[in-house]
Chain A
């Protein structure tokens, strides 16, 4: 049946096979180069995303918007119930608000009395989420701010409430945020209450587990979890979430950030902390060395 084809393909078939082989080898070479020198290839990747994603935004934004409207519509059906719930919560919140205002005033007074310097350099840039990773195995999003806006790798990213992830990969106009839920995300944390330090390890589930915990018995579900600032990557004291016991009996963190709706994200400008490198010198008055020659000569004369 295919005899006639084969006669005509006598010349083109080997050539074609060669081209396919070259193509495969090229791909594998790219893969190996990536394995050996990943920063270079990752820079190429973010340059490509930089060129591709922002121009596609005019298509992607309406589609995203429409889909969200549909999912919103489902929640409109429960509007009355929600309204009642919200009123009840609002009543409770009013009491809290009063308490918070009083505490704020008190806090300000105490800070003033103690002459505490809050870190004035912690400012932020807000970006809009353009795209997500698209794969069920990677948890990351793409923001519309990049090197142009002074973003650098490693900066912490929050939504209004809690920590969301860190910058990993910066293009000219876009930056990728590695979410806390990604399998390669590791964040040093402190659990308030017991003050224990641990590591939050993303494992591609909604609530990442707490690892390297010294005494799990001291924890209680509901304890607040904040970043510890160990390792100098993240600023300290950023809210991450609350301790919860997972269905698999592991201690996990219920993240405070609203992962259902990541739309606007804050990138915290963190300055590198000052390093103390030298071991410290002996403290002595400067005058000692200048004086000694004369001082030693004088007694010998006398």
Chain B
């Protein structure tokens, strides 16, 4: 029983990393070199937040750090800053995961919205303090909005395709502890 659970957990983690890198490589496909007026949603962030809230056991902090630092490197962003912010915000969400379980989805969505807004604002503030080049404000705002709007869809797809949902009451992990 315990072994089965352990394998399933590792499979879940592998799935998390695999999907994350799929999103990353899909983003850098050379399809569109014309600058857009409206930025595409940051699927990777929405995906990470959704999984951290639902299954913190499948998204250990080391994997999140790995994925988002790779994203910084691949997507030509200042390396380290966005990854650090993501690690901090997922840790905050993770500590509340057990409280979140009883929460209805709209409240969870509100919480994620708050997290995303906090992320984007702190990112811009730090870039401003260090006199770094900023992305156009309109583009950032559209990206933030669309990411927030897309979040329920990411949650729904995670559930339908991979069965990722908040653990039911009384579900136990491999050591027999309550999740």
A interface list, Cβ under 8 A from B: 1-2, 4-5, 8, 16, 19-20, 23-24, 26-31, 34-35, 41, 45, 48-49, 52-53, 56, 59-60, 63-64, 67-68, 129-142, 176, 179, 181, 183-184, 203-206, 259-260, 262-263
Give the chain B neighbours of A131 by CB distance below 8 A.
28-30
Alpha-carbon separation in the docked complex, A23 to B68 (Å): 12
Q: How large is the interface on B (under 10, 10 to 19, 20 to 34, 35 or more residues)?
A: 35 or more
Known: A5-B178, A35-B132, A59-B25. A23 touches B33 (CB 8 A): no
Q: Contact at B39–A137, with CB atoms within 8 Å? A: yes
B interface list, Cβ under 8 A from A: 24-37, 39-40, 61-62, 65, 69, 73-81, 83-84, 87-88, 91, 98, 130, 132-133, 135-136, 139-140, 143, 175, 177-178
Find A139's partner among B25, B35, B178 (CB 8 Å cutoff). Answer: B35
Q: Contact at B98–A27, with CB atoms within 8 Å? A: no
CB distance from B113 to the nearest CB of A (A): 20
Give the chain A neighbours of B91 by CB distance below 8 A.
20
Q: Contact at A8–B177, with CB atoms within 8 Å? A: yes
Known: A183-B135, A203-B136. A67 touches B29 (CB 8 A): yes
CB distance from B8 to the nearest CB of A (A): 20
Q: Contact at A204–B29, with CB atoms within 8 Å? A: no
Q: Which of B36, B79, B139 has most chain A Cβ within 10 Å?
A: B79
Find B30's partner among A1, A24, A30, A129 (CB 8 Å cutoff). Answer: A129
Give the chain A neighbours of B37 by CB distance below 8 A.
205
CB distance from A275 to the nearest CB of B (A): 30
Find B177's partner among A5, A27, A35 (CB 8 Å cutoff). Answer: A5
Which residue of chain B lies nearest to A208 when distances are taken between CB atoms in the complex? B35
Q: Contact at A262–B87, with CB atoms within 8 Å? A: no
CB distance from A133 to the nearest CB of B (A): 5
CB distance from B17 to the nearest CB of A (A): 15
Q: Contact at B29–A60, with CB atoms within 8 Å? A: yes
Q: Contact at B84–A136, with CB atoms within 8 Å? A: no
CB distance from A230 to the nearest CB of B (A): 23
Known: A134-B27, A135-B27. A206 touches B81 (CB 8 A): no
Q: Contact at A27–B39, with CB atoms within 8 Å? A: no
Q: Can you list the 6 inter-chain pairs with the closest CB atoms, starting with the nearest?
A: A31-B80, A137-B135, A136-B39, A134-B28, A27-B84, A30-B80
Q: Contact at B32–A132, with CB atoms within 8 Å? A: yes
Alpha-carbon separation in the docked complex, A252 to B28 (Å): 28
Alpha-carbon separation in the docked complex, A16 to B33 (Å): 42
Find B78's partner among A2, A34, A203, A262 (CB 8 Å cutoff). Answer: A34
